[in-house]
Amino acid sequence: MKTIDELLSEGVAGKRVFVRADLNVPLDGTAITDDGRIRAVLPTVRALAEAGARVVVASHLGRPKGAPDPAFSLAPAATRLGELLGADVAFATDTVGESAGATVAGLADGQVAVIENLRFNAGETSKDDAERGEFADRLAALADVYVGDGFGAVHRKHASVYDLPARLPHYAGHLIATEVGVLKKLTDEVQRPYVVALGGAKVSDKLAVIDELLGKADRILIGGGMAYTFLKAQGHEVGASLLQEDQIPAVREYLERAEKNGVELVVPVDTLVTAEFPDMRAKAPTNPTNVAADAVPADHMGLDIGPRTRKLYASKLADAATVFWNGPMGVFEHPDYAEGTKAVAQALIDSPGFTVVGGGDSAAAVRTLGFDEQAFGHISTGGGASLEYLEGKTLPGLAALED
């Protein structure tokens, strides 16, 4: 894999460099609640701009449905990138249309532009190779060189991640190089006990990785939205909680295999429940109830692990030599459901081992809940991406950067 250092030594002055970043930041309306992913790509963008490149930064944000949707505009991220760079950043209001063409054509050497959310075009995420290829062709027309630095999206076989680098000279940016360097340690020389904590809301993505992790980790702690599919698989009712019905048989098989292979697959013993999903803007108190994991009322939903589970998980992390954690334990954005995530973050800090936190929201949780980033071994910008890397899978966005 060629890195950006090689590109810089070859010289980039005057060249249009397409930087595929992951600027998928959490938003409250148009306000960015955590800019970690924007900061993470600064070394690459800065180095290119200082070397005189015309830098075209592109990313997805959220999961719009293949058409423009103002709620998912990258405009706030472009503004923040400009503030962090201390320079004007141009913004194109489309991806491969007139605005993008004119914006890129108007760049002077050393200037930076951001184009609108790549997922506003259906070609970005299409499963059809030809449709993706067509979009990649149009993106390729915007640049002379490709730099892959959106680590959080390298597990996606998407046009800008997988098809575009095949069409341009391609290099890995600083962030991808750093992320891969750290995660490689967890695959090559993992110290045991190796504990993986999983939570979050992308339930189907993350249930799928447990299959492989059962052969690698010594303990897997389950929280967040996926916990309820486990509880249901054990025969408990989960009310209105998140549930991935079609994966119940797979989860039953995971539980059996874990038992047979001596892997501890630990599920919550209690959970905080409420009748209605809270208003995330007002954040008014909701008075959640703590119930045993087998006693979720039919009209309630579980939004965090309970206090007994917090203690249990802290004890399971206390002697870990290696920890990988992806996915908040609860709806941490609301103070009533943040304690589970706080307890796991604190347990990582207290653990003597090497600790990695991965995922856009998990990293944001650690920072917005007031923890010191330096207290963790590594905070990765990718959740699904790092999990799939740890599974040993070939990631499309990394494979595409190979020579």
Ligand X SMILES: Nc1ncnc2c1ncn2[C@@H]1O[C@H](COP(=O)(O)OP(=O)(O)O)[C@@H](O)[C@H]1O
Ligand Y SMILES: O=C(OP(=O)(O)O)[C@H](O)COP(=O)(O)O
Question: Which of the residues are catalytic?
Answer: 37, 202, 360, 384
Contact letters for ligand X, residues 345-374 (x by CB under 6 A): --------------xxxx------------
| Options 123, 150, 200, 288; binder of ligand X; rule CB under 6 A | 200
Residue 394's CB is within 10 A of a number of other CB atoms, namely: 10
Helical ranges in 22-97 per DSSP H: 36-50, 75-85
Strand order in the sheet with 16-20: 89-92, 112-115, 54-58, 16-20, 145-148, 170-172
User: What does 278 bind: ligand X, ligand Y, none (CB cut-off 5 to 8 Å by kind)?
Assistant: none
Which amino acid, one-letter code, is at 259? E
Considering only residues 247 through 306, tell me which ones interact with ligand X, judged by CB under 6 A.
Answer: 302-303
100-108, 136-144, 187-195, 326-334 -> range binding ligand X (CB under 6 A): 326-334
9 is annotated as contributing to ligand binding: no
Query: Bridge-partner residues for 305, per DSSP?
Result: 271
Q: The tokens 């706080």 sit on which residue?
A: 342
Which amino acid, one-letter code, is at 306? G
Rounded distance between C-alpha atoms, residue 155 and residue 183, angstroms: 14
Beta carbon nearer to ligand X, 193 or 199: 199
Size of the site for ligand X (CB under 6 A): 20
Instruction: Report if residue 384 touches ligand Y, rule: CB under 6 A.
Output: yes
Instruction: Report if residue 360 touches ligand Y, rule: CB under 6 A.
Output: yes
Which amino acid, one-letter code, is at 223? G
140-148, 179-187, 195-203, 390-398 -> range binding ligand X (CB under 6 A): 195-203
Q: Which residues contact 52 (CB under 8 A, 6 or more apart)?
A: 12, 13, 14, 109, 110
Beta carbon nearer to ligand X, 171 or 230: 230
CB 100 within 8 A of CB 115: yes
81-89, 296-304, 382-390, 392-400 -> range binding ligand Y (CB under 6 A): 382-390
**Angle (deg, nearest 10), helices 384-391 and 203-213:** 20
Beta carbon nearer to ligand Y, 15 or 119: 119
User: What does 255 bind: ligand Y, ligand X, none (CB cut-off 5 to 8 Å by kind)?
Assistant: none
CB 118 within 8 A of CB 62: no
61 is annotated as contributing to ligand binding: yes
Contact letters for ligand X, residues 31-50 (x by CB under 6 A): --------------------
In terms of Cα–Cα distance, which of 219, 224, 326, 307 is closest to 266?
Answer: 219
Rounded distance between C-alpha atoms, residue 4 and residue 173, angstroms: 5
Q: Residue positions in the annotated binding site? A: 22-24, 37, 60-63, 119, 156, 206, 302, 333, 359-362
Query: Which residues are near ligand Y by CB under 6 A?
Result: 22, 24, 63, 152-153, 156, 202, 359-361, 382-384
**Which residues contact ligand X by CB under 6 A?**
199-202, 224-225, 242, 302-303, 326-328, 330-331, 333, 359-362, 383
